[in-house]
Amino acid sequence: MLKKFNIDILALFETHAGGEKAGKICQSLGFEHSFRVDAVGQSGGLWLLWKDGCGSVTVVENSDQFIYAKVSDGEENIHVVVVYAAPTVSRRSGLWEKLSEVIQDIEEPLIVGGDFNTILRLDERTGGNGQLSVDSLAFEGWVNDNYLIDMGFRGHRYTWRRGRTEQYYVAKRLDRVFCNAHARLKWQDPSVTHLPFLASDHTPLYIQLSPTQSSDPKRRPFRFEAAWLLHESFQDLLRNSWNNAVSTPHALQALREKLKRWNHEVFGDVNRRKEELLRQIKNLQDLLEVNQTDALLDSENTLMKELDAVMEQEELIWYQKSREKYIAHGDRNTRYFHTSTVIRRRRNRIETLKNDTGQWVVNQDELEALAVGYFQRLYSLDDVDATVERLPHGGFTELSREEKLRLDRPFVATEVVWEGSRLRG
């Protein structure tokens, strides 16, 4: 497994080894550095191993159930907490509270992962009595209280299994990886892969913070950006670009092309404009330290107004993409909406599918072929007779003349206002 994947940091649980034997094992795995919480007899064991290339690693705190380390490259820090929760509830007592103390004040990227020995939802196990245990509810409370984000997974649903026969077979998702909002914004497309079960009753978890992914910008759908409405030239563009002489579809197509060109040439990249304004403001304020003139103060005021407008546009962009329902006017929660967008995009992305032979497919071209093949079979003529049987006998009921006239009637302002207020809840 280590030969197949390029691993910088490795965490091992339930090692059942300690002392000199543990040291020799760490060296044989090809890692220059390690920190071990050795097993007591044949129970437990928690190791963290890392290579020179991942930067400076400092173990900040540890116990028999977790290791907290800080990874630094000299410019930024990444906080890593590997967890091996004890298999019994009594031995796990106090673990969630202790972990909260460790991570609650971290305002930098944080990764928390390992074997938590409990589940969050009923669909994370086979069988069961239909309700979550008190320990699972406490685990859920810990996740929510610390605003942790589940990084998801690809591959098998369960990470632990036991039983060789159908009667005794049990499987659960006991292992997972969380991160905080800082990490989610830094790495927007991380992947956690559940590898095959091999020598353990737990599946290994392979984490890639920045996996190589290809995306075709030509495939991105064109969407109206609500932030355009805040730009001073948008209303004139819309007024001058709409053509009443052609049909609505053709007018929309022509407007679409003009909007794409205007977005690229005039509206531009909001983040780039914000960074440029911040740079100009900093330079101007440096000058004000030396010479306080009306011209400089007026320039600062103008730039601050431009920055405020750009930040309002930025917030509206991320709010629109996040699909959140409510926004408090004047409350700039751009990071929250940005994080919501990243999470939604990840949930909507299909990263792996199982083909007809039961193999997991991750190649983009193969995924597309699988999807196309599925819908081709779904809408083929093979089942046309069965489909016809489900249609209403005697045809569909025809609309009355009054109903047709009502559908053709133009919208009125009161209807639009009523529907808008109804959508807002």
Backbone angles phi, psi at 35, to 5 degrees: -135, 130
Predicted local confidence at residue 343, as pLDDT? 60
Most confident of 79-83, 264-268, 271-275: 79-83
Domains and their CATH numbers in the chain: 9-208 (3.60.10.10), 218-348 (no CATH), 353-423 (no CATH)
- Tokens representing residue 231 in the block: 């730009």
- pLDDT of 422 reads 63
Torsion sign over Cα 108, 139, 353, 348? negative
Higher pLDDT among residues 340 and 376, named by residue: 376
Residues 173-231 have pLDDT tens digits of: 999 999 998 898 888 788 899 888 877 889 999 999 886 555 555 556 667 777 777 77
Closest C-alpha among 146, 178, 316, 330 to residue 234: 316
Task: Output the pLDDT for position 308.
Answer: 84
The pLDDT of 58-62, averaged and rounded, is 96
What was the pLDDT predicted at 324?
A: 46
Kindly state the DSSP code that residue 325 receives in the 8-state scheme.
Answer: S
User: Residue 199: is it exposed, middle or buried by C-beta count within 10 angstroms (0-12/13-18/19+)?
Assistant: exposed
Alpha helix (H) ranges present in 214-333? 234-241, 248-262, 270-290, 294-322
Q: In what order do the strands lie in the sheet with 56-62?
A: 56-62, 66-72, 77-84, 110-115, 175-179, 149-150
Contacts of 39 (CB under 8 A, 6+ apart): 14, 15, 16, 17, 18, 45
Q: What is the radius of gyration, based on Cα positions, of the chain?
A: 29
pTM: 0.56
Give the pLDDT mean for 366-372: 85
Mean pLDDT of all residues in 33-51: 83
Tell whether the model's pLDDT for residue 18 goes beyond 80: no
Say which residue, 382 or 16, is predicted with more confidence.
16
Question: What's the pLDDT score for residue 410?
Answer: 82
pLDDT in tens, 316-327: 766 655 554 444
Residues 21-46 have a mean pLDDT of 80
pLDDT of 330 reads 41
